[in-house]
Amino acid sequence: MLNPLDFEFMVRALWGGLMAGALAPALGLFLYLRRLSLIADTLAHVAFMGVAIGLITNVFPVVIALISTVIAAASIEFLRSRRLLPGDAALAVFLYSSLAVAVIVIGFSDGFNADLFGYLFGSILTISDTDIWLLAGLAVITLGFVAVFFSELAQTSFHADLARTSGVRVDLINLGLAVLTGATITLSMRVVGVLLIGALIVIPVVAALRITTGLRQTIFVAMLMGMASSTGGLLIAFYTDMAPGGAVVMTAVGILIAATIWRLGATRKPQPQ
Amino acid sequence: MAVEDVSFEVRPGEFTVILGPNGSGKSTLLRLVLGLIRPDSGAVSLFGRPAHEFNDWRRIAYVPQVVEELSSNFPATVEELVSQGDYRGFSPTTIFRRRVSDAVLAAIATTGIEPLRRRRISELSVGQQQRVLIARALVRGPELLVLDEPVAGVDAGGQEEFYSLLQGQVGIGMAVLLVSHDIGVALREATTVACINRSLVFHGPPHAITGKELHDLYGLPIDILLHDDVHEHRHGHR
């Protein structure tokens, strides 16, 4: 049997998977609790537009995608906080307009379908050292943000007005969360792909919430589940030649099912009073 | 919802109920008081400062309606949630702080929720959740407590306990401002009632409210009967 660690591309993919798997649910928990998990899908489509523009203009696709998602994230938060557009309307407008631009750009070109497929569905063969270092930098910033602003994030996701009347700068917390989500999605694209990255943001969180009690515990368990999903899925992809994005998400779904069964088993037992 | 021509004051040791039907602008008024929105004209002051500039957050506390967020899946224990109320501004090490402060324990004791300390809030009844929110508000020892329809969905016994808890706080000098559509609550519990229906219909002690004002407020003559009935009940109560 092949040892995946003998292959340099696989070592890089696993590092990428570990970081993407940890970051996505760490941010995803707060998005999910505020019923904003759809922002991940929107930003993923914006990232896809950035990649398409980058591929056709031959300028670093990841950099263009990163800039696009950060600008989109900030704009969505601005429109929401100023009540210029309802939250879901802002998300829909950004999702479809960026997808439309991507479709137009792709229509003007031919010959980069293979690359584009890699971004859409994930492609462990194409993860570069630069991708890994960028992800590592983002991991430090994101985990630092979550740790340092833990109380503010918790209060904001529990009840925004309550947080405001405690002196929390809710608008800045939301902005930070949205921008870091955009960056995480962009840099995780190669591992799971644009179409499925939203799953890594939501599913480990839902799974963790099945079995945890407190917020600290939930974030920790969700990150572990995310890392297990991504590395497990990548290994399955390695041995079976499956598309890595699909394998990662199905592993996450498997963990969710296991957590749900565990929960059912736990609630069956008589509860001590 | 717009409100206009509203002017009143809340003083220490006063239990003010803002009474009005649904859609009367009660919640807008409350958001103005908390500085969450700015008035187009006029002034809202908190401790002598314009409400939207106010930042001495430990002097005020807010108890929202028991909302979906609570009953859904929010992953916090009672202790964690009450600790949120002890927020003293940005501190980078909060995530590592596991010890529960004495103020949190005291608020949990005052509201009688010790047995629930380590339970997840989503497992609690609405009445219990309301107590958790009150504890969260009392942690910081506020001088003004603002509550929005706090007993919606709480059973009768729970409501009575809840109001005696609030009266205890008023007794030690806290100012309470409570929004409600429940006439009975206003007549029984308040020291001052402000009747709102887009504008201030009445402001004064509850026994001075007449059937006319309640008619103006709710547009239903039946309120006159209800008014007398509640008065009797109130006298019998004390």
Indicate the pLDDT class of residue A201, thresholds 50, 70 and 90.
Answer: very high
**pLDDT value at B205 more than 70:** yes
Mutate to test the interface with A, among B87, B98, B148 (most CBs of A within 10 A): B87
* Higher-pLDDT residue of B122, A253: A253
Smallest CA–CA distance, residue B62 to chain A, in Å, is 7
pLDDT of residue B210: 75
Fold classification of A4-198 (topology level): ABC transporter involved in vitamin B12 uptake, BtuC (1.10.3470)
Enumerate the residues of chain A whose CB falls inside 8 A of the CB of residue B69: 33, 158-159
Using CA atoms in the order A226, A197, A207, A23, what is the torsion angle rounded to 10 degrees? 40
Contact B74 A151 (CB under 8 A): no
pLDDT of residue B43: 82
Closest partner residue to B75 (CB to CB) among A151, A165, A218 is A218
SS3 track for A102-148:
HHHHHHCCCCCHHHHHHHHHCCHHHCCHHHHHHHHHHHHHHHHHHHH
Tokens of A202: 């939501």
Contact A151 B94 (CB under 8 A): yes
Enumerate the residues of chain B whose CB falls inside 8 A of the CB of residue A212: 75
DSSP for chain B? ----S------TT-EEEEE--TTSSHHHHHHHHTTSS--SSS--EETTEEGGG---GGGEEEE----HHHHTT---BHHHHHHHTT--S--TTGGG--SPPHHHHHHHHHTT-GGGTTSBGGGS-HHHHHHHHHHHHHTT--SEEEEESTTTT--HHHHHHHHHHHHHHHHTT-EEEEEES-HHHHHHH-SEEEEEESEEEEEE-GGG--HHHHHHHH--THHHHHHHHHHHHHHHH-
Establish if B86 touches chain A: CB-CB under 8 angstroms.
Answer: no
Contact B69 A168 (CB under 8 A): no
Indicate the pLDDT class of residue A111, thresholds 50, 70 and 90.
Answer: low
pLDDT of residue B231: 44
Question: Residue B49's beta-bridge partner residues?
Answer: B46
Tokens of A252: 């996450």
Closest partner residue to B75 (CB to CB) among A152, A166, A214 is A214
Enumerate the residues of chain B whose CB falls inside 8 A of the CB of residue A213: 75, 77, 118, 120
Q: What is the pLDDT of residues A23-48, one digit of tens each?
A: 999 999 999 988 888 889 999 999 99
Enumerate the residues of chain B whose CB falls inside 8 A of the CB of residue A35: none
Establish if A9 touches chain B: CB-CB under 8 angstroms.
Answer: no
The proportion of chain B whose per-residue pLDDT surpasses 70, expressed as a percent, equals 88
**pLDDT value at A270 more than 80:** no
Q: What is the pLDDT of residues A130-181, one digit of tens each?
A: 889 999 999 999 999 999 999 999 999 988 888 999 989 998 999 999 999 9
Closest partner residue to B60 (CB to CB) among A158, A165, A168 is A165
Minimum Cα–Cα distance from B136: chain A residue: A162
Establish if A35 touches chain B: CB-CB under 8 angstroms.
Answer: no
Which residues lie closer than 8 Å to A44 by C-beta, 6 or more apart? A185, A189, A194, A195, A197, A198
Strands B49-50 and B45-46, bridge-based pairing: antiparallel
